[in-house]
Amino acid sequence: MKYSKKERQKLLKQTIEDNPFITDDQLATKFNVSVQTIRLDRMELSIPELRERIKDVAAHNFENEVKTLPLDEIIGEIIDIELDERALSIFDVTEDHVFQRNNIARGHHLFAQANSLAVAVIDDDLALTVKSTLSFTRPVHAGDRVIAKATVTSRDDNNRTFVSVTSTVNGTTVFTGDFEMYRTKGKGE
């Protein structure tokens, strides 16, 4: 369907309000226009690019929730969190994150996203990784968006919390990790 510029911009604004994580490519497809047209529309409407929208949402929604570390020390952008339950983050892989010869992401970036999410999900002032079991299941490339989901699986009486993290690209699992985390508060404190 073809929209007038005014209609498109009105719908564009509403679409981004409903889903601040939608990409310019997805918007271009939705409105059957070029990515450049979407960017120009966003500029006219003073709507920031995706990365800035994500940071805005995270800063407004989670800056007072995450206790274990500052948001700017988390690898990736937290988009949802319920302390001691679950958390979700996204990480956009760029050319800076990959090996030049094969365009595959360096594993430490995927680990860092998962580990910092495992730390962030804990409702405590301090959380440290005791040990982790990792599996890299598929290569990740520049341009991929990695979505990591952390789930607290259990807590014990020895100040340990166990967190499982699964990272996906376009719904396909690329990384899994089980983390044993030390926290200063024991179970039920």
Per-residue pLDDT tens for 104-134? 999 999 999 999 999 999 988 888 999 999 9
Q: pTM higher than 0.85 for the full model?
A: no
Q: What backbone phi and psi angles, to 5 degrees, belong to 122?
A: -85, 130
- Write the pLDDT tens digit of every residue in 25-37: 889 999 999 999 9
pLDDT tens per residue, range 127-139: 899 999 999 999 9
Q: Which domains does the chain have, with CATH numbers?
A: 5-47 (1.10.10.10), 68-183 (3.10.129.10)
pLDDT band at 171 (very low <50, low <70, confident <90, very high): confident
Q: What is the pLDDT of residues 8-58, one digit of tens each?
A: 999 999 988 877 778 888 899 999 999 999 999 999 988 888 777 766 655
pLDDT value, residue 49: 83
pLDDT score for 64: 47
pLDDT of the residue at 109 = 96
Three-state DSSP string of the chain: CCCCHHHHHHHHHHHHHHCCCCCHHHHHHHHCCCHHHHHHHHHHCCCCCHHHHHHHHHHHHHCCCCCCCCHHHCCCEEEEEECCCEEEEEEECCHHHECCCCCEECHHHHHHHHHHHHHHCCCCCCEEEEEEEEEECCCCECCCEEEEEEEEEEECCCCEEEEEEEEEECCEEEEEEEEEEEECCCCCC
Residue 186: what pLDDT? 60
Half-sphere exposure of 3 (CA within 13 A, CB side): 17
